[in-house]
Chain A
């Protein structure tokens, strides 16, 4: 099976060198792209059915097609790699950047070429120091080999890529908040419209794209849309980095065909549950997704199918809940994170999430009441999409609303017994 994203990964976890990268076909996608018109590259990516891997799954080619092209377009235009990765349970972009940094660089150059961008930024999570060093080296190497900089490969196209370390807030990953963070401001989200593709960084057209998304782009140009769509088991093109953490036998990260069923990932790749433990549920795509339970194990993991099962593919890195771990405690931990990371811009979110967290904490401490259960349910509606300024709050209540549904007995036992039944 083709593994375009991780096929070059070295067993010793060192970064793939430029020479190794080139030997495996690296920068061939860029060479091909340079022979095409930017609009043709956009068209190709559109036809490939590549959807954004940052969580929302928006079609990538379509996003690019909103950027003004041609000689009347405003400049400079920007491409930003969203490498913030602060969502708990998510650990895929770090692997891509540390282990094959040139792949991200090449993907960025091709994407930037397609939207005729002049400057690229990698907005990198501050704690990812290893990624920073390896990307910095890769950028310098790419520059020295004329893949980057002025007159790239003699094409007349110029591009600079800069690394920007974030100072840490989950909201920085939200694309418009990220723009404010890059501009050196507090990372509050911006109103849309205008969309960043029209007015982004410093008011200029900007595309913000997830790391894994960008890592696919040059492969599509190099091998074509049929190849890319053929990698998938379903409608959504390509492979996907899936991960599993929690008490499975072999937690890890795997590149598999898009649409690989949940059961196959958890049983074959993650090795099933640890001895003596049973599966109770899973957050399929990071902390801001709804739980799936046993009845969903045959769901093909792509955008459509996971949505039909009542959740989101999100980042594709799953957090597994076993039968010896308290679901209320787990949800408390999640809401603690979201409450702490609320940017405070709008009241329902900063006040609602803090309230939610307090209730869950009290419940875990054996101080929950029946009314609290009503309040929690009320919060999930109060913080649903459309009621807050950005998607942080709706994402925050996804695990809560599904836990209230699937683990209702566990919540009730906390209240009835005035203790956490898992704590001995």
Chain B
């Protein structure tokens, strides 16, 4: 079930557009912001609210990188692997993250603390390598600093 707040947020945002279809992506992002991912059940709820079929919504969901159809950990770390970060050594940062968290890129730690995902350029290329955790941007990271950063997240 959508929460009252989710429903209200979606309905408020609907006013920005001439039809309900335009809210398909944003509705999923709203749910995801609360729950970390978009479950089959959430998809059904959104489809009822917007009057779109589940298949329509799923077709859209699978197209976009940021919509997750699988559960994630309590924290999500996005590691930029685009060109400037690559030049500046993002591979080493990624490897250190993987080994210190004990998971792989794309994976979630056994205790559900972290999900590690690749991301394209975060617009911080002059401070590469860049990592984003739960929406917060960390710039100029290296192997040592990334350990300190990650340690702040329970």
Contact = CB atoms under 8 A, between A and B. Distances in A.
Given A88-B84, A337-B83, A169 B65 contact: yes
Contacts of B22: 182-184
Interface in A139-175: 162, 164-170
Contacts of A125: 123
Contact of A86 (B21, B121, B124): B121
Interface string A272-287: 0000000000010001
7 contacts: A85-B123, A89-B125, A93-B123, A127-B119, A184-B17, A245-B128, A330-B86
Contacts of A330: 83, 86-87
B24 to A, nearest CB: 4
Nearest to A76: B18
Interface in A280-335: 283, 287, 317, 319, 321-322, 325, 329-330, 333-334
Given A243-B126, A330-B87, A337-B120, A88 B60 contact: no
Given A184-B22, A184-B25, A162 B83 contact: no
A186 interface: yes
Interface residues of B, number: 40
B110 interface: no
A334 B83 contact: yes
B125 A319 contact: yes
Interface residues of A, number: 56
A89 B60 contact: no
Given A126-B29, A333-B86, A89 B65 contact: no
B65 A184 contact: no
A187 B87 contact: no
Contacts of B24: 184-185
B113 to A, nearest CB: 21
Contacts of A164: 16, 26
Given A181-B25, A183-B22, A251-B127, A88 B64 contact: no
B123 A251 contact: no
A251 B125 CA distance: 8
Interface string A225-253: 00000000000000000011111000111
A128 interface: yes
A168 B63 CA distance: 9
A97 to B, nearest CB: 10
B56 to A, nearest CB: 9
Contact of A246 (B18, B87, B121): B87
Given A89-B125, A251-B127, A337-B120, 19 more contacts: A76-B18, A88-B84, A94-B123, A127-B78, A165-B26, A167-B25, A167-B65, A184-B21, A185-B60, A187-B64, A243-B125, A319-B83, A321-B87, A322-B87, A329-B86, A330-B86, A333-B82, A333-B86, A337-B82
A206 B85 CA distance: 35
Given A125-B123, A251-B127, A245 B25 contact: no
Contact of B125 (A127, A186, A317): A317
A129 interface: yes
Contacts of A128: 123
Contacts, number: 133
B132 A247 contact: no
B36 to A, nearest CB: 15
Interface in B64-108: 64-67, 78, 81-84, 86-88
B80 to A, nearest CB: 9
Most interface-central of B21, B78, B121 (chain A CB within 10 A):
B121
A85 B125 CA distance: 12
Interface string A66-89: 000000000010000000011111
Contacts of B87: 245-247, 319, 321-322, 325, 330
Given A91-B124, A247-B87, A184 B60 contact: yes
Contacts of A253: 126
A90 B121 contact: yes
Contact of B63 (A88, A169, A202, A245): A169
A167 B29 contact: yes
Interface string A48-78: 0000000000000000000000000000100
A-B pairs with lowest CB-CB distance, top 6: A167-B64, A88-B82, A245-B125, A168-B65, A251-B126, A168-B66
Interface string B37-62: 00000000000000000000001100
Contact of A89 (B18, B64, B78, B82): B82
A315 to B, nearest CB: 11
Nearest to A340: B120
B23 interface: yes
A88 B135 contact: no
